[in-house]
Amino acid sequence: MQLSFEPLLLELKHPFRLATGMRTHTNDMLVRISLNGLTGYGESAMPPYYGETHQSAAAFFELAARQLQSYHQPLSATTIATIMQEIDGLAPGNNAAKAAVDIALHDLWGKMQGRPVWSLLNVAPENMPPSSFTLGMDTPEVLRQKLPESDGFQILKIKLGSDDDRAIIRTIREVSDKPIYADANQGWTDREAALDLTYWLQEQGVLLIEQPFHKNDLESSAWLTGRSPLPVIADESFQRLSDLHRVAACFHGVNIKLMKCTGLAEAVRAIRAARHNNLKVMIGCMTETSCGISAAAQIAPLCDFVDLDGCWLIRNNPFGMPDIGDGRIRLNAQPGLGLHVKTS
């Protein structure tokens, strides 16, 4: 198999404000893995807070390309798992770079079999939950202007963790009555204030809270989880399957992202392990192209909550947009990830 890669700079439609900072671009890498005239596409989306860069990903892909050169046999779930174990062992970290390799291998597997990835993974597309659409933190005026962009979606995701989270929710409620997923992005510090806020958020039609406290403050998360009327979901506290035992007792659920957990192979195992621990499962994303979003969508019907809006938040997507209907991503019957590569 031949691996090639190409750096991309994803332009965000709006500067993205979180409790931890603001940005206008996301570093990204597009990966192609080819065998016998077929090509699978993969992607690494690399937001700055996880520390991966174009340079680190390029160095990792050089190692991965060398590793993959010796493979000529058809792919299967088992061979992909074996290959990804070797890829994982090439260097520590590099989770998004590893995810790009995993995603490209799955796309290639589907193309070799002439079947969609969801079908190869025994996923039922009719079980797709609705996806949320993220509105970044902003002034009331700007939030009102941005709201129409969420028209195709039934659920809003709102970033909290500001000095006045109630004001943000009130602003949204002036213009929309859609249910809300609230993400504090580690921005809360006071337990009692967080619990009060959680009850108030429930009254406002908020359905869940993501990552209330600092990722390492599992005690506060466990305290809130024991009292909150809303599900408390780990995001920054949960990266890979190996973190599950640490967070399982401290949250109601986990947010699985391909860029954190090295791709579909581990994500499927993480979903299974989370279920075994009676945890809710959310599948989320970074700002990504349709490649990463379509990959995550293949397994989204296995999850309770879906937050796959990344490709709607960027201007320069090199692929066609996923189909969406009734607020849900619709998986197509095309081989692999069902991507449409734009020719420009």
d(CA 104, CA 282): 23
CB-wise, 165 or 235, nearer to Mg ion?
Answer: 235
- Interactions with Mg ion, residue window 223-262 (CB under 5 A): 235
In angstroms, give the least distance from the CB of 183 to Mg ion.
4
d(CA 331, CA 300): 10
CB-wise, 121 or 297, nearer to Mg ion?
Answer: 297
CB-wise, 145 or 189, nearer to Mg ion?
Answer: 189
CB-wise, 183 or 266, nearer to Mg ion?
Answer: 183
Using CB positions, name the residue nearest to Mg ion.
235
d(CA 35, CA 104): 11
CB-wise, 52 or 235, nearer to Mg ion?
Answer: 235
In 3D, which of 229, 148, 132, 147 has the Cα closest to residue 183?
132
In angstroms, give the least distance from the CB of 1 to Mg ion.
34
DSSP 120: H
C-alpha distances out from residue 163 to 19, 167, 246, 269, Å: 10, 9, 30, 38
**Hunting for tokens 């969508």 — which residue is that?**
297
CB-wise, 165 or 210, nearer to Mg ion?
Answer: 210
d(CA 306, CA 41): 22
CB-wise, 68 or 247, nearer to Mg ion?
Answer: 247
Determine, following the binding rule CB under 5 A, whether residue 288 of this chain makes contact with Mg ion: no
With vertex at residue 289, the alpha carbon angle to CA 307 and CA 43, rounded to the nearest 5 degrees, is 105
DSSP H helices, 114-152, are: 117-120, 140-146
DSSP 74: P
The crossing angle, in degrees rounded to 10, of helices 77-88 and 54-68 is 130
d(CA 90, CA 249): 32
In angstroms, give the least distance from the CB of 235 to Mg ion.
4
Size of the site for Mg ion (CB under 5 A): 3
CB-wise, 235 or 266, nearer to Mg ion?
Answer: 235
In angstroms, give the least distance from the CB of 166 to Mg ion.
20
In angstroms, give the least distance from the CB of 298 to Mg ion.
21
CB-wise, 116 or 292, nearer to Mg ion?
Answer: 292
d(CA 344, CA 341): 9
In angstroms, give the least distance from the CB of 157 to Mg ion.
8
Burial of 95 (0-12, 13-18, 19+ CB in 10 A): buried
Beta strands in 47-154 (DSSP E): 132-135
In angstroms, give the least distance from the CB of 257 to Mg ion.
9
- Interactions with Mg ion, residue window 200-229 (CB under 5 A): 210
- Interactions with Mg ion, residue window 130-159 (CB under 5 A): none
In 3D, which of 17, 137, 4, 130 has the Cα closest to residue 66?
4
Phi, psi of 260 (to 5 degrees): -90, -40
In angstroms, give the least distance from the CB of 220 to Mg ion.
17
Site string for Mg ion, 167-186 (x = CB under 5 A): ----------------x---
Interface contacts to Mg ion, rule CB under 5 A: 183, 210, 235
